Chain A
Amino acid sequence: MNLSISLTVNGERRDVELSDPRVTLLDLLREGLHLTGTKKGCDRGQCGACTVLVDGRRINSCLALAISLDGADILTIEGVARGDRLHPVQAAFIAHDGMQCGFCTPGQIMSAIGLIGEGQAGDDPERVREAMSGNLCRCAAYAGITEAVLDAQKALTAADLRKSA
């Protein structure tokens, strides 16, 4: 069985030889590519800690077989900052205390980036909470998370407006 795939991970092309067809995208990122920012919480699609973007869409990487994603473009938490400059969503999570222990934070941030890209929530906190319900936070930093998402979205929209002006 041919188990070699190629992925673009955080902008860089990676040719990968999978040891086994059972490898999930999450395990490939963590064990194969040593990108341990993406967290394994439940490993069953219930907690959202493993959220990454695949071809621009947020998904649970624990429920995706790596081999099925041959050719995909993957963005993980390691790929969102520009050098020392944090992504606006990262900066907003810090500004609003959108975390306590931090374990769910990479998944929260990737989910928030996906949510803002989807453009469905607008500035309605109820819609933001609903759209973030796939990311659990055992420390219950939800109030800060919601504020961070709303604030980051505002910042990103303002940046877009400046760019297009």
Chain B
Amino acid sequence: MNIISVNTFWTLWLLVHLLLSVALLGALTHQAVAAMMPVRKVAGSAGFVTRFRAVPAPGYAAAVCLLWVLTFIVGSYIYTKYRIYIRIPLEQAHYWKTQGFFDFKEHVASVGLLLLPAYWFFWKNAHDPQYDTPRRMVTVFLAAACWFLFIVGHILNNTRGFAS
């Protein structure tokens, strides 16, 4: 018995991918800003930017790893349909650069996945100054990568979403 249509099924998975990526984007952005501009002491009432930076960044590490893996798995699942029902029409419509950015996205997602063990270790040892530079820089890379993945995915969906 078909409860939902095939289009609805894949659109729901695309939305799950979107929601996971939004959570990941928020966590990584907070963490990257906190890592690069940590708040040592706040005198008086803190403004928005200070409060944005004042999150307990080490506590985000495990959640970021889990969200990256989950977003990656769901993205990998819907990629099978993208390859046939989205990419082929995009190529037929000569959207070459759009297609190139999607390929860029898949590579950046894989590189990010491979960084997670060291990223997690650096944050779990955030008290140790020897890990300060790699911890900050890996976090900034992952945050920048996540923004790139999110924007490319958004543009791809605008170009041709699953329901189109």
Is chain B a partner of chain A in the same complex? no
